[in-house]
């Protein structure tokens, strides 16, 4: 048995409490919210995801009542927690359903800017009672099998029920890292049914080789072009091997959904989205958009798994997106991948809409 220095333990606890405290780490500058301001909406969505993280932390610490730090993360923006989302395997809290509850006298305008409900999903934690399940799901992202998990099933049922009750225009999705992958899968599923949910997806994993880290731009472009040729060829080959195919292209059906993707070029987990969309634009300008339309719809792993009859769902394949890149310098990988960066108001951001065209 090992014994920890009480002072060191208290110091670690104090740092954790400060990180989980909205007043110490949250966007307290948003004393007045302009719902038409995209930066405000981004910070609010990130705060609600933070609330989901802290709910799980406090569940494991058995922190309740006046000692709980989580409620401040949603109550500051006039939301209330309807209920947490529970993983049926380890009983951890992996998400939360919030309802917007403004003060008396507030007139609720039916606009695209103010959500009635937000469903937020946390990412991986290193807490002992949930880390093993979180890492198992991270592995399933790499294997393109996350869609078969209990978390995605619970998330899908929750969102479908909410959309059926109040309509797609009144529901937001938000998530970070692993939670962002869950939100992406749910958002895709809803879009295929004609329900296009406002979605804030932070540091969504992109399972690919880090081509963007190649220093030579000429080599980077050559690798991406060669990759597109390989994927397009494999796609044509596997399509020819399948006797029964859906008459409608599911990739095209998703094109009207434009999720908001937030990435950091220093984060290898999500940075490849930058090259993914820039390369697609470049191929169109070169007059070879047909090749890229085939290549951009899947990954080599997804194609090969389909060819051997194994079901897969490539999460990062998305036709359209509002891509926001945080160009502010990051000191560490954890800072570049962390959710806290998206709570700040002093970021150097670059944004562009990528709309898939037939």
> So what's the pLDDT on residue 102?
82
Q: Are 94 and 57 in contact (CB under 8 A)?
A: no
Q: Are 343 and 25 in contact (CB under 8 A)?
A: yes
**Residue 116, in any domain of the structure:** yes
The closest of 238, 285, 267, 252 to 325, measured between CA atoms, is 267
Instruction: Name the maximum alpha-carbon separation found in the chain.
Output: 67
Of 51, 301, 358, the C-alpha closest to 174 is 51
69 inside domain: yes
pLDDT in tens, 68-83: 999 999 999 999 999 9
Res. 310: pLDDT tops 60: no
Give mean pLDDT, residues 275-281. 82
In this predicted structure, the answer to whether residue 235 has a pLDDT above a threshold of 70 is no
pLDDT digits (tens, 9 = 90+) for 28-59: 999 889 999 999 999 999 999 999 999 999 99
Mean pLDDT of 308-333: 84
Residue 206 lies in a domain: yes
The pLDDT confidence band at residue 8, using thresholds 50, 70 and 90, is very low
pLDDT digits (tens, 9 = 90+) for 91-140: 999 999 999 998 765 555 545 589 999 999 999 998 888 899 999 999 99
Q: For residues 134 and 142, what is the distance between their CA atoms, to the nearest angstrom?
A: 13
Per-residue pLDDT, 249: 63
Q: What is the pTM of this model?
A: 0.83
Stretch (H or E) spanning 97 = strand 93-100
Residue 3, SS3 per DSSP = coil
Nearest partner of 82 among 101, 69, 63, judged by Cα: 101
The string of pLDDT tens digits covering residues 169-221 is 999 999 999 999 999 999 999 999 999 999 999 999 998 766 656 666 656 65
| Residue 325 maps to a domain | yes
CB 162 within 8 A of CB 115: no
Cβ–Cβ < 8 Å for 205, 315:
yes
Domain for residue 170, yes or no? yes
20 vs 112, higher pLDDT = 20
Q: Is residue 162 part of a domain?
A: yes
Averaged confidence pLDDT in the chain? 82
For residue 282, is it within any domain?
yes
Residue range(s) defining the domain that contains residue 340: 24-242+249-354
Q: How many domains does the chain have?
A: 1
Q: What is the pLDDT of residue 105?
A: 55
For residue 80, what is the DSSP state? Answer: E
Whether residue 18 lies inside any domain: the answer is no
CATH number at residue 303: 3.40.50
pLDDT, greater one: 142 or 294: 142
């Amino acid at each position: 048995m090992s014994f920890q220095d009480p002072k060191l333990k208290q110091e670690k606890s104090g740092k954790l409490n400060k990180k989980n405290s909205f007043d110490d780490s949250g966007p307290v500058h948003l004393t007045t919210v302009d719902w038409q301001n995209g930066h405000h909406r981004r910070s609010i969505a990130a705060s609600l995801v933070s609330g989901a993280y802290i709910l799980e932390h406090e569940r494991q610490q058995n922190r309740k009542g006046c000692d709980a730090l989580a409620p401040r993360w949603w109550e500051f923006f006039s939301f209330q927690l309807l209920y947490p989302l529970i993983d049926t395997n380890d009983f951890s809290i992996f998400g939360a359903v919030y309802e917007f509850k403004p003060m008396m006298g507030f007139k609720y305008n039916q606009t695209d800017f103010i959500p009635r409900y937000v469903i937020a999903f946390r990412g991986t934690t290193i807490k002992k009672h949930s880390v093993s399940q979180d890492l198992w799901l991270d592995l399933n992202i790499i294997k393109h099998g996350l869609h078969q998990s209990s978390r995605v099933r619970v998330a899908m049922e929750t969102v479908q029920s909410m959309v059926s009750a109040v309509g797609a225009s009144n529901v937001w999705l938000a998530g970070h890292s692993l939670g962002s992958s869950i939100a992406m899968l749910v958002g895709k599923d809803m879009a295929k049914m004609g329900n296009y949910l406002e979605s804030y997806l932070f540091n969504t994993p992109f399972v690919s080789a880090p081509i963007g880290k190649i220093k030579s731009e000429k080599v980077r472009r050559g690798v991406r072009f060669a990759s597109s040729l390989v994927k397009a060829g494999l796609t044509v080959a596997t399509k020819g091997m399948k006797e029964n195919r859906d008459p409608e292209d599911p990739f095209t059906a998703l094109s009207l959904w434009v999720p908001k993707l937030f990435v950091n070029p220093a984060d290898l987990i999500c940075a490849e989205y930058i090259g993914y969309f820039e390369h697609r634009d470049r191929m169109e300008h070169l007059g070879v958009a047909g090749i890229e339309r085939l290549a951009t719809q899947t990954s080599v792993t997804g194609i090969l798994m389909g060819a051997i009859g194994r079901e897969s769902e490539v999460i990062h394949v998305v036709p359209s997106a509002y891509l926001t890149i945080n160009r502010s310098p990051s000191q560490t990988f954890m800072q570049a991948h962390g959710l806290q960066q998206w709570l700040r108001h002093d970021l150097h951001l670059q944004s562009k809409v990528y709309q898939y065209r037939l």
